[in-house]
Structure 1
């Protein structure tokens, strides 16, 4: 797909972002399960995690999954897996559960490092009902079979249109 045949870009406003963050944060704070840490999955989950961390008055950790740089994701996930095995409750946050690839990867790595599954939860702002991974909290549900928009979050909107389109086209099956 060329840039001329770019997907529909849907820019999420700051206000819509805040509404979604507050919705997810309320689900977490009003629920019976209380995390000890909020963990932002980088890049997209870092900004929502900061907001939710402040709203819920919880400390925040970050895992830079998107960088693919050794030492910034897998090794840290092994460390947080050990925390969960010791009884620490961990809430992982990402911006969108689209294909489910990121969440499935994080869960698999945690499991490979003896993570205690009962001490884990996942939250996103936008959840694809057809994702191969499930999450516990979300603000909006979409169906990728019907909704082909590429969601541009406020922190991404500062990028160039070409960079945003290139990112969207990097995994074409999400939009096909």
Structure 2
């Protein structure tokens, strides 16, 4: 298996991405009541975005893949949306679309107009669609594995292990 090209996202670019997403939200006619960070990669962007647009942040984590761990939290998020709260889910990248589609399925009982998704990098050929993004890529063309500032502290082996979970994203 060929290893990916690891492309660092500098902190300055990350901050510009946060500004771009915040700007897109400001220009839209929809405002979240809560930012929901999607663990693991969306927690840091959600925290920054929460500060940038002055909205409180919640979190949910599917990345650890612990069966049943998020069920109660997801049920609470559905209940909040049913009660009228608008929830903006934030992740670092919409790559294959697996995480976003998994969340959309888990939140199917919530009113669709109360849920939105934002990412820093949006793969235009993803199986999932998002409402807000800072920048786009096309995985048909761009094969790089992006290393965000919070991931840069990990060892190369750890980064490659994360990539290795679904290597076809960059193949």
- Which of 85, 97, 116 aligns to 2:94? It is 97
The Cα offsets for residues 18-53 of structure 1, whole Å up to 9 and x where unpaired, read as 000110011112321011000000000000000110
Query: Residue in 1 aligned with 2:83?
Result: 86
Deviation of 1:93 after TM superposition, in Å, equals 0.2
- Which of 2, 18, 21 aligns to 1:21? It is 18
Whether 2:43 is the aligned partner of 1:46: answer: yes
TM-score, structure 1 normalization: 0.94
SS of the residue aligned with 1:66? coil
Partners of 1:56 and 1:62 in 2: CA distance: 17
Partners of 2:161 and 2:104 in 1: CA distance: 27
Deviation of 1:167 after TM superposition, in Å, equals 1.1
Query: Residue in 1 aligned with 2:116?
Result: 121
Deviation of 1:72 after TM superposition, in Å, equals 4.0
Query: Residue in 2 aligned with 1:7?
Result: 4
Whether 2:45 is the aligned partner of 1:55: answer: no
Whether 2:147 is the aligned partner of 1:152: answer: yes
Partners of 2:78 and 2:143 in 1: CA distance: 34
Partners of 1:70 and 1:39 in 2: CA distance: 20
TM-score, structure 2 normalization: 0.97
SS of the residue aligned with 1:104? helix
RMSD: 1.0
Partners of 2:59 and 2:134 in 1: CA distance: 21
- Which of 103, 108, 119 aligns to 2:105? It is 108
Whether 2:126 is the aligned partner of 1:131: answer: yes
Is the 1:63–1:72 contact (alpha carbons within 8 Å) kept by the matching residues of 2? no
Q: How many residue pairs get matched?
A: 171
- Which of 70, 74, 80 aligns to 1:73? It is 70
Partners of 1:74 and 1:66 in 2: CA distance: 13
Deviation of 1:62 after TM superposition, in Å, equals 0.3
